[in-house]
Every structure is written in C-alpha cells, then in structure tokens.
Structure 1
C-alpha cells in the first residue's frame, strides 16, 4: 500500500515494556483454569492450552503462503475462492472496509454505525464476505480479516504527532467494529485470525513513537475481541505502517495466540513506481532510493534481506510466529520478477509466512498481467493471462502448501 517516509526505529538496545493489563488474555485464561504466562507462537499457545478448560486456538498450517484481497464489487466471489484453491493458496488476508470505501455501497454515501446496527457501514461487504468464507471453508483456505478502511479512519490527520485525530477518528470506531464483528463472525469456520488494524499510523514525523496505538488503542481492541472470542488468532504489526524495521520498538504482547506481521515494499520508490504521482523509474537490482527524502543506495538481495532483519530477529528472540502479511511491486517495474523471487526466497529461508499483495481489484500489482496491459479497476478473475516468471515463482511456492 502507498506509504509516507518512515520513522526511524527506536534503538534495539532500548528496553520496551511488555504490553500487560489486568484484563489481558492471561487473566481471562487464568479464570478458565489456564496458567498465566507470557507465551507466543503456535506451539507455545497450543501447549499452554492442552488439557485446560479453554478451547485451543485453530491449528495453523506449517507454513502460510497466499495473498491479499481488496474489496470491490464481486471481489470476494466463491469463484475467486475456487481460483485461489486451484493455485494452492492456503491463506488469504482481506483488507475490510466500509461499503463506501470499497465502492460497494448501494446508497453511494457513508452510513454511520449505530447502537442498533454497529455494522451498518459494512453490510454489503459483510454479505459478500460470508459467501466467500463459506466457499473457503469447503476448500481448506484460511481467512485473516483485517480492519482497514473502517468508519472514521478517513478523518485521521497524518501530520498530527499528538495522535489526537487518530484516537478520535479511529478509537471508538475500532472498538465498535471489533466488538460487533467478533460477535457476528465468531462461528465462521474459515476465519482463523483478525488483523487488529492495517498499517496503524497517524503522523509522518520521525520522532513520534506511536504511544497512542501501543498504550491505548491496541490493548483495548485486544480486550474487546478476547471478551467475545478467546481463541482466535490476532495479527499485529509495528507502528507506523507495519514497517519491519520498527520491530525494535514493538512490544511483546501477553497473549498466546498472536501473529506478528509486517509489510515490506522496499525500496518504496521502486516498488510503487507508477502508483499515484510516483514516477516510473529505477530497476532492481540497482541504485535506488527508499523514499525521496533518502539517498540512493545499492539495492539487491542482501539489502532487501537487511530491510526485514529486525522482524526476523524479533521472531527468533521471542520464539513467535512471523508473517510478511503484505509485499508487492507494480507489474511494470523493471526487474519485478527478480524482486519477487528475492523476496520469496528470503522469507522462505527465514521461516516466515507470507501473503503477496495482490491479484484482485486494480491490476497494477498483478504479475499475471503484461507490463503494458491496460490498467483496470476490476477483473473477473485473478489470472491476467500471462505466466510471467514472477507469477510462476508465487505459484510454485503456493503449490507447496498444506490445507487447513
């Protein structure tokens, strides 16, 4: 996704307090007869829960490999689910938004959530989601649902380092969203995880550290979800924007079913060329800039791996499950196929789950379209007709997957 210049990470040597709270899941599970401990990762979570009164979180496949899906009319059809399964995809992540933000609103206007219907802004997308997940459940495809363009998020000012507009625009809406969604979808057999908020951010300023997110909104959102669904996996990412290099300031969350995630589009100016006003220039590998504000440097496999190393180190240090929940490059970027191959090989070498961004809606990211193919907003299938090397790389790895 399009991102601003990133903030610099807090030094890894600086101590970061664990995120704890009297109403954390540790307390919740203790009330059910489960011992309290800070644990993470699939093995630890399931070991904690075996023989306990609480039900286990869903068993994760040995490796999750798949892609992201954006919302548009027909984008979550059962036919799309069958296409995914045919490729071997075992996991999809859906960036869930209001009907208006997704262009699916019949009224073409924003509908406010209410106490009587807190999901009013999402009803068209919710109906489409349920049809899609019903098919996924039959096909063995797991679904991660991410809060993305939720009600009020478009009011957040990205130059507000205090976080006030973020807290006001997103805070109550996020809590209302997850409380209602957790109740609505609690028994959906395909949905194994909730991604608490896609790319949390509220400022371009480098010195801001995301305290409003880490200390206020994220813990509260987790409490709201756990009060309704104590076993679903929860995906979280660093502030801001999910940058892997911000894992130096990421807290370890006191909950046994957490997936730690990050997004990687490095170098950003290269991967996003042709998106909005970003010029189409630069080839990978080569001398490229991460952002306009940063100097040119040589980018190749080694520097690409270094851009994600803080996330890899965090996963090893804390023995947690790590996922690259978004990575992608525009299909016309010179060297695109090499970038995709390097990204996948690095993630595989580090035992990281991954989800490519993306094959549906706008086809600018889709490597199965020719570089010079017309840009379209909606395509009836995921496959654009071209078996490019980048597409074949993804397909080859998807076909290694185990089903849910």
Structure 2
C-alpha cells in the first residue's frame, strides 16, 4: 500500500495490441507513475483473453498469461506500476466482445461469482510477485443495478432502499467483492485491491454502501464522464453537439454543467469516504475524459483535474495512445485521424500515427509532470 500513500497520476491503456516498450516509455516520460491496463481487446488463445471462456471459466490459458507477463515486464522496465483491470469476468462478457449486448448473468446467478473468485485466485497466484503490480482492479465498471430496477443517478435514498432489498442476492456488489477478495487473499495477502463503484463506476454509486469492506488494503474507484451526454462519442454525431460548459441532460432533466457542477458531483464520493472514515489516499478516479474534438474538452479536463488536484486524489486519464479508437487520445489534437489509422486496425497492424503534446493534452500533461 505504500505506493498509494501519495497521490499517483497515470493513464489508461485499453489497446487492441499489447503495448510495446516505446508506449510505456512515453507514458513514463510525461511523468506518469502508473497505468491502468486492460487486456480484453488483445488476441486471445481461446474465446476470451485470460479467461479462456467467460461462459465457463476453467483456468488461465498459458499463452495469454505469457503475453500479459511480457507486457508487465515492459511496463516495469519503464518504471511504471500497473493496475490490472479486466473488462470481462465469468458471466459478464464485456459488451464490445458480446455483439454489443450487456451481459447480466453474473448479477443473476452466484455460480458465476464462484467462477470469478477462482479466476482471481489464479491471477493472484501467478502475478503476486511481479514487481510492476500495484493493484488488482477486480472488474471494470460493474453494473449490477442496470437490470435490477435502480435508475442511474437515482436519489441517495432510492439507492439505499434498492440495496436493502437486494442485499444478500446476486446483485449485492459489496458481497460479490468480499467473495473475490477472500479468494485472492488465499494466495496473496499483500497486493492492494481496487474496487469500482456500481452503475459503471459512477461517482454517486458508493452512496448506497453502508460500510467500507473489511480488508485494509482496498482502494475505492469511480469514473468521471459526466455529463455523459456532452463528453461522449454519441454527442459528436449530433447535428449540433451539446456544448460544455452549458446545459446537458442528467438524471432525466436538463442541468447546467460547468466547473462548479463538476465539483459538486465529485463531492459525493468524497462525502461517502469521509462518512466511512476513509482517507483521501483510498479514493481513485480510475478514468475520466471527454471527446477531444469537442470544443469545450480542454475546459472540461481542467475542471475535473482541478477537483482531483485540490483533493489530492489518485487518477488515471482515459486514454493513452489508444490504437483502436481515437476519441479520447488527446495527443492527436482536435483533427480527424487519417485513413491510415483505420486501415491499420483492419489489418491488425500497429498504430502508425505520431503523437505529440497538444493544447488538448495540456491540462493532463501539466499535472503529470508539474515541474
């Protein structure tokens, strides 16, 4: 846990190819100290990378594990710590690897909980001694609430009522995490564990948790893309995109979003942590970002980062040099990418585009390397 004793700043890696040495060296060169690494887009030995098959976990495929180890080695050579962040678990295949369909099986049937616990026990056994590992982020953006009758961004009282009803069932996220943590601790007593809030790691979704988990090496993570209607890819397809700052839909109504509103929204996990007597060093904003071509994107990044900086939180921006989606790759500036970028994806070839520090990237770059 000593790594997390001071605010740590890094980036997300959600690439389709395992990142090479130059990738990690470049991220470290900006001043980042950690990378949140997802592997679900990499070519798997079987159906699902590292899982084998999310329909029925039976062990870690050796070839996938070797690829992951080699990638961790490269990050370590660059001086970066790594947080492993799977997008899929048994019974919860990531929608982009599932024909665009949300997979709710994990939140309906606890036999998948047991498979997920076995998966994480195996991962912990294999990776606990790797010097790059700084935490296990048990699953990216869980959403047991989505098909469980709780509206996104519901009022705190409604969230708490919902949890009281679901407690002990298959949609009980804290209980799910407890089972996975117990399984990990059979093999690894020391590595920190990072937990995303529910409703896709929404900043208001820890509000229904009545207590933190008992393990003393747990970090609590939220993601920040609100107002999603303005910051996300669908907004750029509108004839007149929703601007930031400005009014945007949120929780079923139009609200004015600006730096102050961002601050109030992000105050919610801070208030929860205070109520639970958790120090700021236990809170992480594991993802945040906006579409780089949105004219207000730089201001949005400034507004979010100002809150994170003021509260001395750990953070990782989304995303660093993503090789299959350019929407939040701020080193590309605000221009469209050339055809060669998409051609490389079709051919399974490495990303050919050069990167550089741009004005769009400046809010992040300045805080990665404040000196």
Partner of 2:287, secondary structure, is strand
**Deviation by residue 1:186-209 (Cα, 9 ceiling, x = unmatched):** 110010100112111132432643
**Deviation by residue 1:32-73 (Cα, 9 ceiling, x = unmatched):** xxxxxxxxxxxxxxxxxxxxxxxxx44335211011111412
Residues 1:82 and 2:25 aligned together: yes
Q: With the length of structure 2 as denominator, give the TM-score of the two structures.
A: 0.79
Matches of 2:215 and 2:360, distance apart in 1: 37
Residues 1:299 and 2:260 aligned together: no
Residue-pair matches, total: 334
Name the CA shift for 1:384/1:358 in 2 (closer, same or farther; >3 Å).
farther
Give the Å deviation of 1:331.
1.2
Moved more, 201-210 or 311-320: 201-210
Residues 1:175 and 2:114 aligned together: no
Alignment partner, residue 70 of structure 2: 131
Give the Å deviation of 1:343.
0.7
Where structure 1 has 5 or more consecutive residues not aligned to the other structure, the ranges are: 1-56
Partner of 1:304, secondary structure, is helix
Name the CA shift for 1:215/1:385 in 2 (closer, same or farther; >3 Å).
closer
CA-based RMSD: 3.2
Name the CA shift for 1:277/1:172 in 2 (closer, same or farther; >3 Å).
farther
Matches of 2:118 and 2:236, distance apart in 1: 32
Residues 1:368 and 2:341 aligned together: no
Residues 1:326 and 2:309 aligned together: no
**Deviation by residue 1:345-403 (Cα, 9 ceiling, x = unmatched):** 111011111100112231111111132322746595798535332311211111149xx
Give the Å deviation of 1:316.
3.1
Q: Does the Cα contact within 8 Å between 1:144 and 1:195 map onto a contact in 2?
A: yes
**Deviation by residue 1:281-324 (Cα, 9 ceiling, x = unmatched):** 11111111136xx2221110010111111111123331332110
Q: Does the Cα contact within 8 Å between 1:273 and 1:281 map onto a contact in 2?
A: no
Alignment partner, residue 6 of structure 2: 62
Alignment partner, residue 26 of structure 1: none
Give the Å deviation of 1:274.
3.3
Matches of 1:94 and 1:131, distance apart in 2: 13
Select the residue among 289, 310, 313 that pairs with 2:249: 289
Alignment partner, residue 89 of structure 2: 150
Name the CA shift for 1:206/1:278 in 2 (closer, same or farther; >3 Å).
farther
Q: How does 1:323-362 map to 2 (within 5 A)?
A: 323-359=284-320, 360-361=322-323, 362=325
Name the CA shift for 1:148/1:381 in 2 (closer, same or farther; >3 Å).
same
Partner of 1:179, secondary structure, is helix
Q: Does the Cα contact within 8 Å between 1:78 and 1:131 map onto a contact in 2?
A: no
Matches of 1:164 and 1:148, distance apart in 2: 18
Partner of 2:233, secondary structure, is coil
Matches of 1:340 and 1:61, distance apart in 2: 24
Q: With the length of structure 1 as denominator, give the TM-score of the two structures.
A: 0.73
Give the Å deviation of 1:117.
6.0
Residues 1:164 and 2:108 aligned together: yes
Give the Å deviation of 1:245.
1.0
